[in-house]
Amino acid sequence: MTVTTPATLDALADAVATTAPAPLRIAGGGTTRPWRHNGAPPGVDVIALGALSGLTAYDPAECVVTVLAGTPVRHLTDTLAVHGQYLPWDPPIAGDGATVGGMLASGLSGPGRYRYGGVRDFVIGARVVDGRGRLIASGGQVVKNAAGFLLHHALVGSAGRLGVIAEVSLKVFPRAEATRTLVARASSLAGALAAHERLRLANLDLDALDLDATSAVVSARLAGAADALDARAARAARALAHAVETLTGADEARHWQALSLAAWPATGATVKVPAAPSRLTAILATLMPLGPCRLSAGGAVAFLHSTQPLDALQDAFAAAHLRGAVVRGPDAGTPLGIRHAPAFADRVRASLDPDGRFR
């Protein structure tokens, strides 16, 4: 096993080309797949992106940032915050050296995806190194662009299997003036689901809406002008129809951190399950016996943390006709349950990685 740590895009392309045709793994911060600790399997070369770090371009007035893939997410969010801007999808894994490339490859969005969309909705361009060491650009640094194939979209959720994400251009937004979170503890899961549904349908422009299934707690965040928050919070509380705890500032931040999938151990399997409000009861009936689970983005997605063997997860997902994937843990990147016919995916992969190096 060799580990290469290129510091420039050219060096990265060169490293991929010179290690051909050995299988490759890409190491970001090691926060979704813990290779950092385990190393890669024998015969697999590792390209570490830690030295490929920093902002390539950022004009706050433009609300667009271009950043190298090895840049820590925290560094990016800190830089944006200085200019009153943020990543609206709340990358759930941002600490411990989690990288921008990993953020894209994992395709994970946090609670903030509820209002303005997920990471897929904010990626406007990328540069990627393919399996033959060719540096390829798609998209650009403008928020509206219909020129050429949108390869950067396919990198979202690609789990390092299409190519090495080298640089990413993102649309960013101004951060809201103020936020406030309402927390309601229901006496049962059914009660929590009902309150969650009332909030979702009340057209409140919530910034985030999550439900912790294990504890039957509903959390709703409002964001916007400070002088409008009292009126908005009162409406949200009426829709919740439960005793409400109101959180702001550091308490609010801690509450959402505790709810984040990053709060689960990196061991075991964190599983992502695309969901839909009308199917939540059925989905939770499948997931809850497997481990603690949470709903995020108004029930558009469920997250499970399980210490069950992968086979048991596969069986449970297949039996329930669920589609999901392990997104964190030693098996990160493994799809679960029903799968789509692979013809298009295979052809896309063949164009980027004809030698099958990114496994």
Footprint on residues 271-290 left by other proteins (CB under 8 A): 272-278
Instruction: Give yes or no for residue 141 binding other proteins (CB under 8 A).
Output: yes
Instruction: Give yes or no for residue 133 binding other proteins (CB under 8 A).
Output: no
Instruction: Give yes or no for residue 231 binding other proteins (CB under 8 A).
Output: yes
Instruction: Give yes or no for residue 251 binding other proteins (CB under 8 A).
Output: no
Instruction: Give yes or no for residue 195 binding other proteins (CB under 8 A).
Output: no
Residue found under tokens 């904010």: 122
Residue from 53, 79, 116, 288 binding other proteins (CB under 8 A): 116
Residue from 4, 71, 99, 109 binding other proteins (CB under 8 A): 109
In angstroms, what is the minimal distance from the CB of 54 to other proteins?
Answer: 19
Instruction: Give yes or no for residue 86 binding other proteins (CB under 8 A).
Output: no
Instruction: Give yes or no for residue 343 binding other proteins (CB under 8 A).
Output: yes
User: Which of 78, 230 has the CB closer to other proteins?
Assistant: 230
Instruction: Give yes or no for residue 82 binding other proteins (CB under 8 A).
Output: no
User: Which of 227, 311 has the CB closer to other proteins?
Assistant: 227
User: Which of 5, 355 has the CB closer to other proteins?
Assistant: 355
Query: How far is it, in rounded angstroms, from Cα 299 to Cα 213?
Result: 11
Query: Closest Cα partner for 35 from 44, 43, 27?
Result: 27
Using the rule CB under 8 A, give the single segment among 3-11, 18-26, 111-119, 249-257 that binds other proteins.
111-119
Residue from 118, 131, 291, 329 binding other proteins (CB under 8 A): 118
Using the rule CB under 8 A, give the single segment among 22-30, 67-75, 110-118, 247-255 that binds other proteins.
110-118
In angstroms, what is the minimal distance from the CB of 224 to other proteins?
Answer: 4
Instruction: Give yes or no for residue 174 binding other proteins (CB under 8 A).
Output: yes
User: Which of 98, 135 has the CB closer to other proteins?
Assistant: 135
**Torsion angles phi and psi, residue 169, rounded to 5:** -110, 130
Instruction: Give yes or no for residue 314 binding other proteins (CB under 8 A).
Output: no
Using the rule CB under 8 A, give the single segment among 17-25, 62-70, 251-259, 262-270 that binds other proteins.
62-70
CA angle (102 as vertex; 99, 107 as ends), nearest 5: 130
Residue from 11, 323, 330, 355 binding other proteins (CB under 8 A): 323
Instruction: Give yes or no for residue 190 binding other proteins (CB under 8 A).
Output: no
Instruction: Give yes or no for residue 194 binding other proteins (CB under 8 A).
Output: no
Cβ neighbours, 10 Å, residue 121: 15
Across the chain, the runs of DSSP E, i.e. the strands, are 3-4, 24-27, 45-48, 55-59, 64-68, 85-86, 123-129, 135-139, 164-171, 173-174, 178-185, 208-212, 217-224, 244-247, 269-274, 293-296, 301-306, 323-328, 335-337
CB 62 within 8 A of CB 158: no
In angstroms, what is the minimal distance from the CB of 325 to other proteins?
Answer: 4
Instruction: Give yes or no for residue 215 binding other proteins (CB under 8 A).
Output: no
CB 130 within 8 A of CB 136: yes
Instruction: Give yes or no for residue 179 binding other proteins (CB under 8 A).
Output: no
Structure tokens at 314: 């596969």
Instruction: Give yes or no for residue 164 binding other proteins (CB under 8 A).
Output: no
List CB contacts of 268: < 8 A, sequence separation 6 or more.
291, 305, 306, 307, 329
With CB under 8 A as the rule, give the number of residues binding other proteins: 81
Using the rule CB under 8 A, give the single segment among 27-35, 186-194, 256-264, 341-349 that binds other proteins.
341-349
Cβ neighbours, 10 Å, residue 227: 9
DSSP string across 108-122: ---TTHHHH--GGGT
Collapse the DSSP code of 292 into the 3-class scheme (helix H, G, I; strand E, B; otherwise coil) and give the result: coil
CA torsion sign, 305 to 310 to 313 to 318? positive
List CB contacts of 190: < 8 A, sequence separation 6 or more.
none
